[in-house]
Structures are given as C-alpha cells and as structure tokens.
C-alpha cells in the first residue's frame, strides 16, 4: 500500500509554490536529457536536490504507509473466522512489512537513514496514507480493505514500476505482484460472505459503505489542486494523474461490485456513454485533509501503537547489531 497521498507535503495541504532551480546548468541538462529519453536515474548519478527531496518524501511516506497499514488488519489476526483466513491474513500483513522494508531501503539510497525516517514518523512529522486512520469494525472490513484499499493501491502503484528512479521502480515490481494477491484474497473473502447469511451480506454492505469514499480519496487531491503533480510528471516520478487514476479505479470497480452483489454508496454513480466512463459524486476533501493533518478517528491510536511496536523491537535490533559485530570481529581475526 499505498498511494497518492504519499506525495502529500508533510506540512499538510499544499501551497502553490514553484521549484526554483539553482542547479549547475550542464548537469541539469544531462539529467533532463536522461528523463526525456525515459532513462533511469540510479543512486550514484547526479540529480537535482528538489528531485532527491521529492523522492525521499514520497518513498518514505510510502514506506510508512506500508508499516502503519499492518495495524488495522493486524487487529483481526487473532479473530479471523478460520485457520485458512488467519494464515492468509498473516501472510498479507507480513507482505506489508516486507514492502516497508524494500521502500526504506530504496529511500536510504538517496542519503537518508532509516533511523531519520522512523524518527519523522514517530514524532508525527511525516505523513502516511490517511486510509489507515479509520477503524476496522468487522471481519468484512478485512475483505473490503483487500478488495478496495489494495485495489486502489495497485492502480496507483503499477505506474510507479516505470518511475524514473531505479531503486523505487524495481521495488515496486515485486510490491505490485504481492498487492495483486492482497486484492484477490479480499475479494474472495467477500464473495464467500455474500453467499452466506443475510447478516453476513449486511456486514459486507456496511463495510463497503464506510470505505468507498475513503478509497476514492486515496488517489489524492483533484489535479486542479495538486501543485506538485506537474513537477512529479515532468520528472517521471508520477506517470498518471490523480484524477485519471481515480477514474480508472471507479471504472474497474463498478463491475466487480455488481458480481459481488453490493451497492456502491453513491447515488450519482452512473455510466456516461459520451465520456466512456462512470460519473461519480463529490469527495469530501475537508474530511480527507482533517485526517491527513492528524484529526481522523484513529490517528493517535495508530501512531501510539507504531511507536510502542518500535520500542518493543529494541532488543531485536540490539541483538542483531551485537551478532553483526561478533561476525565482523571473527572475520577480521581470520583475515589477520
Ligand atoms: Fe503493500
Ligand atoms: Fe497490500
């Protein structure tokens, strides 16, 4: 997971500011030529400071989103309805941890340390996807997160496999393969529930009602309100605009909802023959920004759980460092 809200500035709602270039023109020209030729920028290559900063912000927000994203679903591991569902959910939550690790590693190649990034997350300075600041009230939420949240993540992340920064693009290839499994397991869990009792069907519908609009907001603010998007597109970091991705997601999801037998909670949702796309209603952006800025229902709980998990893992980090030191001393002794 997850998505465009990664490129939300850490300070909150964006202001329209231009990025001034103070870079050496010859190096800048080589960099631009590489981007124009759809080439890859690698860690050892020269890059403008603003490109580096944008990537650090986006990749670290993405990494934070992966590991905070473990929390809402992790809550359901002990309450999964069967051994099979528990095994699937454990595998999915572990995958999200792995995604976080690939992404922190990719961000480290840009000269930031993992400790710095985690400190920014734990102190509340760094953002993560706002979708994880909502509660998971029933087992159906776990299915809906797989279907819609991971589904939205795939829509957003597939174009990132072609991102101009090599380590990020390569990490995304594997992440996307795993997200595809996440989406399918969620959809399949919901299909089983929809074939069950009336109460199970109502539970699925209720979960869809609560998550639908939040998933549409995952693609980030409208293009008209995204001053950083144009620069991201120019640099080949972002390949498809927020509004285009959101439209693709709606168009792909409507037939899936029909097969499932649920109603998407939008009275304005309908096929527009002239556009060749579905029209849909207005997103509540004030609610989105309030959540991004720390006022969602679970922001405090998620951050507190994350900080506690990091503290609980201190002994593992200490032990790993002690082991590495021992190995290093042994190999130095053998070499001497
Ligand atoms: Fe993920
Ligand atoms: Fe996922």
Cα(65) to centroid of ligand 2, in Å? 10
The answer to whether the beta carbons of residues 213 and 285 sit under 8 Å apart is no
pTM attached to this predicted model: 0.90
The answer to whether the beta carbons of residues 136 and 70 sit under 8 Å apart is no
- Count how many residues are written for the chain: 336
Q: Whose atoms come closest to the Cα of 97: which ligand? A: 1
Instruction: Say what the pLDDT of residue 124 is.
Output: 93
Q: Whose atoms come closest to the Cα of 180: which ligand? A: 2
Instruction: Say what the pLDDT of residue 68 is.
Output: 96
Please enumerate, as own/partner, the contacts of 112-115 that have beta carbons within 8 Å and a separation of 24 or more.
112/56, 112/60
Cis peptide before 2 (omega within 30 of 0): yes
Instruction: Say what the pLDDT of residue 15 is.
Output: 46
Q: Whose atoms come closest to the Cα of 149: which ligand? A: 2
- How far is residue 65's CA from residue 130's CA, in Å, rounded to a whole number? 8
Location of structure tokens 């030529």: 33
- How far is residue 267's CA from residue 245's CA, in Å, rounded to a whole number? 21
Q: What is the pLDDT of residues 243-271, one digit of tens each?
A: 999 999 999 999 999 999 999 999 999 99
Cα(236) to centroid of ligand 1, in Å? 22
Residues with CB under 5 A from ligand 2 (ion): 1, 150, 179, 182
Instruction: Say what the pLDDT of residue 183 is.
Output: 97
Q: Whose atoms come closest to the Cα of 174: which ligand? A: 1
For the beta carbon of residue 304, count every other beta carbon within 10 angstroms.
Answer: 12
Q: Whose atoms come closest to the Cα of 129: which ligand? A: 1
Cα(87) to centroid of ligand 2, in Å? 15
Which of 131, 155, 144 has the alpha carbon at shortest distance from 251?
155
Cα(24) to centroid of ligand 2, in Å? 40
**pLDDT under 70 in the chain at which residues?**
1-21, 227
Residues 6+ apart with CB under 8 A from 144: 186, 190, 204, 207, 208, 211
Instruction: Say what the pLDDT of residue 226 is.
Output: 81
Cα(180) to centroid of ligand 1, in Å? 10
Instruction: Say what the pLDDT of residue 225 is.
Output: 86
């Amino acid at each position: 997971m997850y998505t465009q809200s990664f490129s939300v500035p850490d300070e909150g709602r964006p202001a329209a500011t231009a990025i001034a270039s103070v870079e050496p023109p010859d190096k800048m020209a080589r960099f631009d030529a590489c981007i124009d030729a759809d080439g890859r920028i690698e860690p050892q290559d020269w890059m403008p400071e603003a490109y580096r900063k944008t990537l650090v912000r986006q990749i670290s927000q993405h990494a934070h989103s992966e590991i905070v994203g473990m929390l809402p679903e992790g809550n359901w591991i002990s309450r999964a309805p069967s051994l099979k569902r528990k095994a699937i959910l454990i595998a999915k939550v572990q995958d999200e941890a792995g995604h976080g690790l690939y992404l922190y590693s990719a961000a480290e190649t840009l000269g930031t340390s993992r400790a710095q990034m985690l400190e920014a997350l734990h102190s509340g300075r760094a953002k993560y996807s706002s979708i994880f600041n909502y509660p998971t009230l029933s087992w159906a939420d776990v299915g809906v997160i797989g279907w819609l949240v991971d589904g939205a993540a795939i829509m957003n992340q597939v174009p990132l496999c072609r991102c101009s920064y090599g380590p990020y693009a390569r990490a995304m290839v594997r992440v996307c393969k795993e997200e595809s499994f996440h989406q399918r397991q969620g959809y399949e869990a919901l299909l089983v529930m929809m074939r069950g009792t009336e109460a199970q069907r109502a539970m699925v519908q209720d979960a869809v009602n609560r998550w639908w609009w939040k998933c549409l907001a995952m693609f980030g603010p409208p293009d008209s309100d995204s001053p950083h998007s144009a620069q991201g597109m120019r640099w080949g970091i972002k390949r498809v605009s927020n509004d285009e991705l959101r439209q693709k997601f709606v168009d792909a999801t409507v037939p899936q909802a029909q097969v499932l037998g649920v109603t998407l909670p939008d009275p304005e949702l309908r096929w527009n023959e002239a556009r060749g796309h579905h029209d849909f209603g207005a997103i509540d952006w004030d609610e989105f920004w309030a959540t991004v800025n720390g006022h969602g229902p679970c922001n405090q709980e998620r951050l507190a759980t994350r900080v506690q998990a990091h503290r609980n893992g201190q002994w593992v980090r200490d032990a790993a460092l002690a082991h590495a030191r021992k190995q290093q001393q042994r190999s130095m002794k053998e070499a001497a």
